[in-house]
Structure 1
Amino acid sequence: MSDTALTAPVRSPFAGLVRGTTGPVIVVVATIIAVWYLAAVLLNTPFQRDMYKRGGQENVSLAQLVADTLAQERPVMPAPHQVAVEIWNTTVEKKITSKRSLVYHAQVTLSSTLLGFVFGTLLGILLAVGVIHSRVLDKSLMPWVIASQTIPILAIAPMIIVVLNAIGISGLLPKALISTYLSFFPVTVGMVKGLRSPERIELDLMKTYSASAVETLWKLRLPSAMPYLFASMKVGVAASLVGAIVGELPTGAVEGLGARLLTGSYYGQTVQIWSALIVAATLAALLVAVIGWAEKLVLKRMGMAR
Structure 2
Amino acid sequence: MILTLRNHTVPVAVVALAGLVSWYLLAIALNAHGAIDRTLAPRGTWGAWDLITTTLNLQRPILPAPHQILLEIWNSVTHYPVTSPRNLLLHTAVTASAAVTGFVMGVLLGLVLAICIVHSPTLDKALLPWIVASQTVPVLAIAPIVLIILGSLGITGLLPKATIAMYLCFFPVTIAAVQGLRGPQRLEMELVYTYAASRIDTFWMVRLPAALPFLFPALRVAIASGLVGTMVAELPTGAQAGLGARLLTGSYYGNTLQIWAALVMASLLGVALTGLVSLAEFGVMRRYKGRR
TM-score range, shorter chain: over 0.9
CA contact (8 A) 1:17 1:24 kept: no
Deviation at 1:16, TM superposition (A): 5.7
Q: Which position in structure 2 is the counterpart of 1:27?
A: 14
Deviation at 1:31, TM superposition (A): 2.2
If the length of structure 1 is used for normalisation, what is the TM-score? 0.90
Q: How far, CA to CA, are the matches of 1:238 and 1:135 in structure 2? A: 31
Q: Which position in structure 2 is the counterpart of 1:107?
A: 93
Q: CA RMSD in A?
A: 1.9
Q: How far, CA to CA, are the matches of 1:272 and 1:169 in structure 2? A: 30
1:212 maps to 2:198: yes
Instruction: Please list every run of 5 or more consecutive structure 2 residues that lacks an aligned counterpart in the other structure.
Output: none
Deviation at 1:18, TM superposition (A): 7.0
Q: Which position in structure 2 is the counterpart of 1:197?
A: 183
Deviation at 1:212, TM superposition (A): 2.2
Deviation at 1:251, TM superposition (A): 0.5
CA contact (8 A) 1:184 1:236 kept: yes
CA contact (8 A) 1:75 1:270 kept: yes
3-state SS of 1:169 partner:
coil
Q: How far, CA to CA, are the matches of 1:291 and 1:21 in structure 2? A: 22
Q: Which position in structure 1 is the counterpart of 2:279?
A: 293
Q: Which 10-residue stretch deviates more, 267-276 or 199-208?
A: 199-208
| Aligned 1:226-241 pairs, distance under 5 A | 226-241=212-227
CA contact (8 A) 2:77 2:89 kept: yes
1:271 maps to 2:233: no
CA contact (8 A) 1:17 1:23 kept: no
Deviation at 1:45, TM superposition (A): 1.7
Q: How far, CA to CA, are the matches of 2:206 and 2:168 in structure 1? A: 28
1:95 maps to 2:81: yes
Q: How far, CA to CA, are the matches of 1:229 and 1:264 in structure 2? A: 37
| Aligned 1:96-245 pairs, distance under 5 A | 96-245=82-231
Number of residues paired by the alignment?
290
Residue of 224, 234, 239 corresponding to 1:248 = 234
Instruction: Please list every run of 5 or more consecutive structure 1 residues that lacks an aligned counterpart in the other structure.
Output: 1-14
Q: Which position in structure 1 is the counterpart of 2:44?
A: 57
**1:235-282 deviation digits (Å, cap 9, x = unpaired):** 111111111111110001110111110110010000000000000000
Deviation at 1:119, TM superposition (A): 0.2
What residue identity is the alignment partner of 1:295?
E
Deviation at 1:214, TM superposition (A): 2.1
Higher helix share: 2
Judged with a 3 Å threshold, the aligned counterparts in structure 2 of structure 1 residues 17 and 226 are, in CA distance, closer, same or farther, namely closer
1:303 maps to 2:285: no
What residue identity is the alignment partner of 1:294?
A
Q: Which position in structure 2 is the counterpart of 1:3?
A: none
Deviation at 1:204, TM superposition (A): 1.4
Residue of 25, 28, 33 corresponding to 1:38 = 25
Judged with a 3 Å threshold, the aligned counterparts in structure 2 of structure 1 residues 171 and 198 are, in CA distance, closer, same or farther, namely same
Deviation at 1:224, TM superposition (A): 1.1
Deviation at 1:94, TM superposition (A): 2.3
If the length of structure 2 is used for normalisation, what is the TM-score? 0.94
Q: How far, CA to CA, are the matches of 2:178 and 2:136 in structure 1? A: 20
**1:68-123 deviation digits (Å, cap 9, x = unpaired):** 11111111110000000001011133221111110111101111111100000000
Judged with a 3 Å threshold, the aligned counterparts in structure 2 of structure 1 residues 289 and 52 are, in CA distance, closer, same or farther, namely closer
What residue identity is the alignment partner of 2:259?
I
